[in-house]
Structure 1
Amino acid sequence: MTVSYEDVVRAAGRVGGHVLRTPVLEVAPGRFLKLEQLQHSGSFKVRGAFNRILSAGELPPGGVIAASGGNHGLAVAYAARALGVTAEIFVPEVTSPVKVAGLRALGARITQVGSIYSEAAEAAAKRAAETGALQVHAYDQPEVVAGQGTTGLELMAQTGGVDTIMVAVGGGGFAAGVAVGSGALGGPGPVSSGGSSSGGARSPRAEPGSGPKIVAVEPERIPTLHEALKAGEPVPVQVSGIAADALGATRLGDLAYDILSRAGARSVLVTDEAIVAARRTLWAEHRMVAEHAGATAYAALLSGVYTPAPGERVAIMVCGSNTDPATLAHGDG
């Protein structure tokens, strides 16, 4: 079970009428921010949700069901409402009130259970077995990963190609999808070193393996990929810290491990303090509202955990904005 570049291309055709082509901002020469926090439902996850549901054909009477730290649930609820099906979302008790309120506004049935994502996922799986609802996994389904990969496909067309993509990791579905969609595993690679950040798709050159390198950024207190790479397989980790409501998977997904290890992804760890600082910088310098998970990749660049080489073109995924805006000016909760 894996995801190919062709799977991502097909996903792009499937979800194109349902998701936004989010902008890319060049904040400095060769430094790009991909603004997925402006996506429907406030994160990239709506891409995978639409692709999973639309790939399923006729949906069961029970509708769709998902477990989430919040963002995936919002995406599934948004997609379900757009497609006229019911959604039942299980979230842990630590889920941000902003995200719970958003789920209610989208008309989803909500169950808060457990203290971490894995406990909500267990409850959701049990409920799906009872109702026959279509499960939309937060990160470990091929259709979900392929949908997230459309972000990488889009980024490469908008920038004309980059050398490095920095992306936050929890369960790993986003980073895995971006790796495939950007050509890090082969398929079309970068087209030039001088692309416009606002241009349309270009004709890429087919050079297997010529895509960008992937820098996976994880909170020090949720090192799912870091520990998986050390162990040679996904292993359980402890979950805590300021980004746990969105990056709080206790184990990297099997698909993500397969893809990211084959892509040679590098894992770097950032502190909660660095994440907070990056989130404040996004607001203070660019007036961008980002949740902590959304600022995690940027934290590695700003804190010096990852230092680009001279002339290296780097894209950073700003992946979510579901947060209380009041905390941007008055401190982090």
Structure 2
Amino acid sequence: MTQMLILQTADPFRYAEMLTITGRLNASYAQRHGIPYDAYVGIKRGYHPWHAAFNRIILLSDLLRRGYRGWVFYMDADAFIADLAFDVRAYAESHNRHALIASKGAEGGWWDINNGVFLLNFAHPSTAFIVEEWNKRFFDIDEQALSAGREWHSVMDDQALLHSVLCDNEQLRDSLYVDTEGLINYKARFVRQIIRGNGATFEERLAIIRSEVQAVEMAFGLTGASRQDGLSADAVLWCHRILLGREPTDWSIIDWLRTQHTSLPSLTQWFLDSPEYRGQAIGNFERGSPPLSRDAIVWAYRTILGRMPEGEDVVEFHLSIHQSFDDMVQAFLESEEFQQKILQKASGR
């Protein structure tokens, strides 16, 4: 099993309150998937609250020094997991050839990533260099400059330092994977981050985070506000993805559906009767339209079976036997593996 650590950090004066909210949900995800969770509140090196942003650099350096060889799944205090059923270990395993997974930042070069949410592979040969160089560049900032740096960007921040490491080392380009699937960061399917900017105040961001975290907790039955009868949230979310081909835009629908339906056939029929299912394509793949793409095969494995295909030969096999997206989906739904998942999802296991 892939070794992994979920890590968050915040300063004790401002973002600790935000971390209390997101950390509760993220720790629940960690417990659910058997992944260690660690949160550090404080300032490892620095003088002002925003200097806690540098904590990640020192925490990663400490792990490297201790000989850690697994993955680190890092999230800022304003980031939270929106899908408690997503298998982040399987996702990481599918990217073992990469050192770093992150989302796109602004409109800079290949190195311009957002380090508010990322996965770092300590077993990759490039990771030690990235962490050591990142740490070195941080400690190259002298104490006087750091002490005088009361405001954000008054010295190079953690993300700018990482950008400089990547930008100055073209050989790291192939070690970086930039998420193009909408999985992590911003309004993503798996991890969402309510970032600074867009005119929102800290208090407004805090209110948004509190509301969205509560919605996820209710959808997955983590609070007393959710009824415990009906189907599991996993089963409802799973049907939503398969039959509508997208993530829910309002997580309260998951909690409502799970309490309205006592069986998978009833739930499935509700989706099949919906105007959206009848009138739209599934995700980015038109129903019944050849040729079938590799992305569609991978989507089916991830969404319907909850795992990645065993290899390229398996993908090629499915490309050769299915004439259209509809044909492929039907085959996956009729597979023995999927039938076993029906039994598991219906019972909430």
TM-score in same-fold range (> 0.5): no
Give the TM-score range, shorter chain.
under 0.3
Relative contact order higher in (CA < 8 Å, ≥ 6 apart): 1
> Which of the pair has more CA radius of gyration?
2
> With structure 1 as the length reference, what TM-score do the two structures score?
0.25
The structure where helix makes up a greater share of residues is 2
> With structure 2 as the length reference, what TM-score do the two structures score?
0.24
